[in-house]
Amino acid sequence: MTPAIIASVETMLEKWKGLEVKEIEVYNEFRFLTSEVISRIAFGSNYLEGEKIFAMLNKLKILVSQNIHKTAIPFINKLWKPADMLESEKLEKGIQDCVMEMIKKREDKVVSGEADSFGTDFLGLLVNAYHDLDDKNRVLLEDLVGECKTIYYAGRENVNSLLAWIVLHLAIHGDWQEKARREVIDIFGNQNPHLEGIAKLKIMTMIINETLRLYGPSHGLPRTVAREGQLGKFILPADIDILSLNIGPHRDPHLWGDDVHLFKPERFAEGIAKATNYTAAAFFPFGLGPRSCVGMTLATIETKIALSMILQRYTITISPTYVHSPIAIITIQPQHGIQIILEPLHSC
């Protein structure tokens, strides 16, 4: 997947050449980047082809965040549906139709002999599983569509937010920006990143982990209680939903010290286990246990490639127009965007 990620970042950086020494809002810039990446590596397409799905997912995200804490009265929704529910059902149907169209294109190519398989990307693997002759391995159509929605959304939003918050911190903390740049230049020079070198980016890993601690894209870990159990002093009955907010342990001074709210990547100099004093639940930006995020490695590699290529070319400073206002709309995002100024390292 690395070549596709690099190609997407190069497209973004080419556009940035016309924005040098000008204010640039990076949250939206990274949204286009991560949309392009997930479209290429998972669906064999590009942002323009997936634009309709992204737009509907964005509207659905806002509706979900507006209603996530509202309590529904049993049976009432069968008699009367509020406007938001009707709109969300319409969006769900629209997304499903778009995904079905993508699946049909793959199937038609195989039937016509234009292709000898459904493909080896994420969508291709799912379509293969949908047509599997073994009932035990077959994926239901509902699950196939659900998986596509998840990867479209999570593959874009999480890396989008993470990249934006990292760039903000590097713009504010010039010392860490310079340390990260020196590491990138030492490992890659002026060449594009490669997997062998990505694994050696220790300082960048520290910066990523500290940003995930302070502004992790996911602010909570939703779980359904399978059977009655006890959580601290609370008795949790079966079949209820709980949301464990990771901002609690991530900003707990008892776990991290009195400087818990400060950006200090050196906390992670000796790894996550040492930073958390071997307390696993002190740091879980990608979840915990067997249901931790399957896309963690992809998100980390994509983030490291994008940051490396930016640091090879630019110094980043914060714009005086930036207003700090993080909000939770499923992910933690900047309400007013993140405005920075890019200064090229090398004049043409």
Instruction: Return d(Cα 338, Cα 246) in angstroms, integer.
Output: 23
Max CA distance (Å), the chain: 67
Is 129:139 a contact under the CB 8 Å cutoff? yes
Q: Confirm whether residue 293 is marked as ligand binding.
A: yes
**Rounded CA separation 182/171 (Å):** 16
Span between the terminal Cα atoms of the chain, in Å: 30
Positive/negative CA dihedral, 78, 79, 85, 91: positive
Q: How many residues does the chain have?
A: 348
Say how far apart CA 329 and CA 326 lie, in whole Å.
10
State how far Cα 79 lies from the chain centre. Answer: 37
> Which residues in 229-265 are b (16+ Cβ under 10 Å) and which e?
eeeeeeeeeeeeeeeeebeebbeeeebbeeebeebbb
Apex 27 CA angle, 284 and 172, nearest 5: 75
In sign, the C-alpha dihedral spanning 173, 286, 222, 88 is positive
Residue ranges for the known binding site are 293
Which residues fall in the annotated binding site for heme? 293
